[in-house]
Amino acid sequence: MAQLTPQEQQEVLRFIEAGKPLPDEYRFLLFADKNQVELLWSGKSNEVSNVVLPFQTIELVDEPRAEKPKKLQQSLFDLDERGRQLQGWTNKLIWGDNKLILSSLKNGPLREQIEAQGGLKLVYIDPPFDVGADFSMDIEIGEDTLTKKPNILEEIAYRDTWGRGVDSFISMLYERLLLIKDLLANNGSIFVHCDWRLNSSIRLILGEIFGIENFRNEIIWRKTNSPKFQSIGLGNQYDSILVYSKSSNTNFSKVFKPFDEKSLKPYSYEDEKGKFRLIEIEAQGVQRSPNRKQFEFKGRIAPYLYNIDQLNEWDRNGIIYESSGGRFSKKQYLDDLEGVLVSDLWTDDGVSPLQGSKPEVTGYPTQKPETLLERIIKLATNEGDLVADFFAGSGTTASVAEKLGRKWIATDLGKFAVHTIRKRMISVQRELKDSGKDFRAFEILNLGKYERQHYIGVNNDLRNVDKEKQREQKEKEFIALILGAYKAETSEGFRIFQGKRNGRLVAIGPINIPISRLFVEEVILEAREKRITKVDILGFEFEMGLFPNVLDEAKQKGIDISPKHIPAEVFDKRAIERNQVIFHDVAAIEVKPAIKKNLVSVELTDFSVFYSQDAISSVEENMKDKSNKVIVDKGQIVKISKDKDGIVTKETLTKSWTDWIDYWSVDYNFESKREIVRIQNEDTKEWEEIWTGDYIFENEWQSFRTKKDRSLELKSIEQELGSGRHKIAVKVVDIFGNDTMTIIEVNIEGKK
């Protein structure tokens, strides 16, 4: 810092006390020795999260469908007799806040696995830039469409960030980029997709984090062929992809763009027998001459144009014929004719804009074409490398990485996004399996109960006595938080009930484990003792197979129990203040097994949900004449229409319980795979493997709707099981992306 005179120091203090910005002359005096460019904004901090939370494995998908078993190549997997992956890298699909995910990857035990794969060779991110409807999804219900609103965590994390200005968005991205840099391999690179709104700001923070000397390219790609008219500017047709490497050791592979066949001209090729003209097919119906020597066209034609007066003969199959005479200014050997190397301007058909008719379209407004990611992944990685996308959206990066033989990590804050990616990756597995190609298993992870514990966690640096006091205080605050969000008042004098609302007692389950049968039995016991007949049980998770049996048992004892999910939004005060926290009733699944000797199939017979997204009265009041809207009200999807005279009509679109189901799957041998997490021992600092008490759902069979195929199978295929008792788990995912599971038991008699 430059030395200021006493007068200058007094002048600076007066500006600070008055809350006024310093004149430029003082800014430059204060930071005269600063020798590099730096981007400054309100709230900037170089502090990076060091939180380490264990990852819960909630599902493993290692076979797309079990009905047509095909042994995969041993080069990629180490498999058992059922085709299950026993070792090697398993791809990761992670649901949660990517700051906590990145911090846990960087500082936690999964880092060892990442580094064993050579580190992250490529990170591609496409962060949300706008307050637009990035997180709204159109869901098809019959011939109508319901707009699924974003979940509150998505809305607050990004829309509110933008509502507070660019500063807060840049701060959010800056911390995540710092974490990403640490995870990148030394020869890794990052591709950041951005548009005109934040291109310049993001480039500056990337330069600050990765170093200006590690800037590689600003790629311009054509995102649309038909830009929309702008009243105050030109139509926006292109976006940017900023490319930085972690070090100077990064080298990109040669990637060639396809030719524009319409502009191809004759080319020349020379071998030891003489000169020949090579002609790309430009017309149909030209007859083949039997007197000409023919050559099979084996490579792409290089874009060298020649002035040739007369074309030779060819046919529609790409056969090239001997030429006689003619002079050529250049020659190009067939084996060397690979194509045109890509530059930083991507306007060719090789990365054509995404069209609604393509099978890859998922409905996400910000979805990018697979051809774009294919080019990026081929440029920056080799087969077997590890690729990551921490704003995964619809899962394009993971999909392309899988098809190109790369390993991947994909994360997203939205549960619906994770569900969309799950379906997409299963579809990719099916495609690869049908074509006899290798594919990897993937697991769905989240931070789950550990993330909740983090929100109300105690300070481990305190003495044991102080930690216990802090824990008690945190538990009180937790109870008050849940009751406040549920709009319940506190109740005293009970062992298990903490509140009361609308004549019903409220019991709140533990934050870190699912509500168990034992917990419900304690609720029933105290309810009978105190002659309570109406009870709400609030929980983050519920033990699988708990309902509906336990509810029927309670009803027989005169107690009406209503189980409700505590949404993750309760941890955001703004969501509570806006009355945006909704406690949904727990959905219920009914299934029926069919047993033929040792073959078992499962039929889905009923699914009940109780969601609400909009209040009918509010929608009716705000609707314009000659308009309609599709809403969710108490477990029904309703289309409300208002005609030109203001007359309102309502039509229930959910004609059947199956309309609520988007996906369901079966694990025929549940409880065969324990959920193990690695937690650091506070004393030894060593990582220890601990069984959580839960089991991993192994997805062996599934049926789901796609944008093009809305059909849904309601009966699984038959699966051979050994003699004895078996637990079968069934998972249903509704059209909003919410999971519900149930467990049934079957008994297979042994051979007599």
Q: State how far the Cα of 261 lies from the Cα of 273, in Å rounded to an integer.
A: 29
pLDDT in tens, 12-45: 888 888 877 777 667 666 665 554 556 677 667 7
Beta bridge partners of 642: 627, 648
Domains and CATH numbers, the chain: 1-35 (no CATH), 56-256+343-452 (3.40.50.150), 259-338 (no CATH), 457-510+513-577 (3.40.1350), 588-748 (no CATH)
- Helix or strand or coil: residue 326? coil
Tokens of 649: 């009509």
Q: State how far the Cα of 402 lies from the Cα of 409, in Å rounded to an integer.
A: 11
Tokens of 416: 């619906």
Mean pLDDT of 654-678: 89
What is the model's pLDDT at position 312? Answer: 39
Strand arrangement, sheet containing 91-95 = 345-346, 215-222, 238-245, 184-194, 120-125, 386-389, 407-412, 91-95, 442-446, 56-61, 697-699
What is the model's pLDDT at position 104? Answer: 94
- Helix or strand or coil: residue 748? strand
Give the type of residue at 193. Answer: H
pLDDT of 333 over the 50 cut: no
The top-scoring range by mean pLDDT among 3-7, 46-50, 188-192, 560-564 is: 188-192
Q: State how far the Cα of 129 lies from the Cα of 352, in Å rounded to an integer.
A: 22
Backbone angles phi, psi at 624, to 5 degrees: -90, 160
What is the model's pLDDT at position 206? Answer: 95
Q: Are strands 340-341 and 256-257 parallel, antiparallel or unpaired?
A: antiparallel
Would you report the helix, strand and coil content of the chain in percent, each value rounded to 5?
25, 30, 45
What is the model's pLDDT at position 1? Answer: 47
**Across the chain, what does the average pLDDT equal?**
77
Q: Are the beta carbons of 478 and 128 closer than 8 angstroms?
A: no
Over pLDDT 90: what percentage of the chain? 30
pLDDT in tens, 668-714: 999 888 888 888 887 788 888 888 878 899 998 999 988 888 889 99
**Lowest pLDDT segment from 46-55, 67-76, 327-336:** 327-336
Q: Which among 482, 614, 454 has a CA at the least distance from the CA of 540? A: 482
**Lowest pLDDT segment from 213-217, 247-251, 281-285:** 281-285
CA-angle at 347, arms to 341 and 350, nearest 5°:
65
What is the model's pLDDT at position 385? Answer: 96
For 468, residues 6+ apart whose C-beta sits below 8 A from its C-beta are none
What is the model's pLDDT at position 526? Answer: 93
Band (271; pLDDT cuts 50, 70, 90): very low
Q: Are the beta carbons of 110 and 55 closer than 8 angstroms?
A: yes
**Comparison of pLDDT for 579 and 271, the residue scoring more:** 579
pLDDT of 301 over the 70 cut: no
The top-scoring range by mean pLDDT among 11-15, 384-388, 539-543, 605-609 is: 384-388
Q: State how far the Cα of 204 lies from the Cα of 463, in Å rounded to an integer.
A: 44
For 491, residues 6+ apart whose C-beta sits below 8 A from its C-beta are 497, 498, 499, 500, 505, 506
Q: Which among 89, 90, 88, 123 has a CA at the least distance from the CA of 106? A: 123
Q: Are the beta carbons of 741 and 699 closer than 8 angstroms?
A: no
For 637, residues 6+ apart whose C-beta sits below 8 A from its C-beta are 141, 146, 630, 631, 652, 653, 654, 659
What is the model's pLDDT at position 190? Answer: 97
The top-scoring range by mean pLDDT among 115-129, 455-469, 727-741 is: 115-129
Q: State how far the Cα of 589 lies from the Cα of 605, in Å rounded to an integer.
A: 8
Beta bridge partners of 245: 189
Band (83; pLDDT cuts 50, 70, 90): very low
Q: Which among 620, 618, 612, 536 has a CA at the least distance from the CA of 581? A: 612
Band (651; pLDDT cuts 50, 70, 90): confident
Q: State how far the Cα of 602 lies from the Cα of 716, in Å rounded to an integer.
A: 5
What is the model's pLDDT at position 443? Answer: 94
Backbone angles phi, psi at 48, to 5 degrees: -120, 140
Tokens of 375: 């080019």
What is the model's pLDDT at position 303? Answer: 33
Element (H, E) at 528: helix 517-529
pLDDT of 747 over the 70 cut: yes
Q: State how far the Cα of 354 lies from the Cα of 57, in Å rounded to an integer.
A: 33
What is the model's pLDDT at position 642? Answer: 85
pLDDT in tens, 198-240: 888 899 999 999 999 999 999 999 888 777 766 677 878 888 9
The top-scoring range by mean pLDDT among 50-59, 219-228, 395-404 is: 395-404
Instruction: Quickly count: other Cβ atoms within 10 Å of residue 343's Cβ.
Output: 12
pTM over 0.85: no
Band (628; pLDDT cuts 50, 70, 90): confident
Backbone angles phi, psi at 123, to 5 degrees: -120, 125
What is the model's pLDDT at position 152? Answer: 47
